[in-house]
Structure 1
């Protein structure tokens, strides 16, 4: 569940924030409006990696086509896939 803190609350809880961020992001507000989204460094790295992958247009198109094929039922068995890959 998303947690909201004022800037003052965030300052008061600064030493506890790393533990709190393991679960969910924290939105820090100023005058009642969100101004900062705090996330764990692990989630930050994961987001950067995801953005890098999704910025590859060729990969994204292939991924979308693969998802569409799966939704249409155009799949093969695991054994057939292993044979095709020579495993």
Structure 2
């Protein structure tokens, strides 16, 4: 059984609340690297939204999250029931 690679989480990761709704923002990259950052948003109902393209910095990833909330609203991360996660 292969071990999952260790990850480093950004200080910008954590819970984010807007309009009375809280989601978990997870921004991470492989530990010990200067690699690109991955952005994932998880709702309280375990809806998962992940971005296909990585980000050069954790700030860029967080800014994209904020832009999405500003444009589409925080409720846009709550998907319809189904087997596939939402992808931005």
Return the structure number with greater helix share.
1
Which interval holds the TM-score relative to the shorter structure? under 0.3
Instruction: Report the structure, 1 or 2, having the larger strand content.
Output: 2
TM-score, structure 1 normalization: 0.26
Larger relative contact order (CA 8 Å, sep ≥ 6): 2
- For the pair shown, the structure with the greater C-alpha radius of gyration is 1
TM-score, scaled to structure 2: 0.26
